[in-house]
Amino acid sequence: MKFVGVCQYDGSSFSGFQSQPNASSVQDALEKAIISVGQVTERMNYSGRTDAGVHALGQVFDFKSTDSRTIDQWLKGINSALPDSIAVISLQEISEGFHSRFDAIKRKYAYIIYTGKTRPIFLKDYVFWEKNKLDINVMKAEAAHMIGQHNFSAFRGSKCTANNPTRTIEYIEIQQKEDFIVITISANAYLYNMVRIIVGTLMDIATGRLQGSMLDILKSENRLNAGKTAQSQGLFFLGAEYKDISLPDPVHPASLFSSLLGIQ
Q: Report the binding-site residues for substrate.
A: 109
Measured distance CA(155)–CA(192) in Å, rounded: 9
Q: Is 84 a catalytic residue?
A: no
Residues in binding site: 109
140 Rama sector, left if φ>0, alpha if ψ -120 to 50, beta otherwise: alpha
Of the listed 28, 51, 244, 249, which one is catalytic?
51
List, as one string, the DSSP characters of the chain: -EEEEEEEE-GGGSSBSS--TTS--HHHHHHHHHHTTS-BSSPPEES---BTT-EEEEEEEEEEBSS---HHHHHHHHHHHS-TTEEEEEEEEE-TT--TTTT--EEEEEEEEE--SS--TTSTTT-EE--S---HHHHHHHHGGG-EEEE-GGG--TT---S--EEEEEEEEEEEETTEEEEEEEES---TTHHHHHHHHHHHHHHTSS-S-HHHHHHHT-GGGS-PPPPGGGEEEEEEE-SS---PPPPPHHHHHHHHHT--
Query: Any idea which residues carry the catalytic annotation?
Result: 51
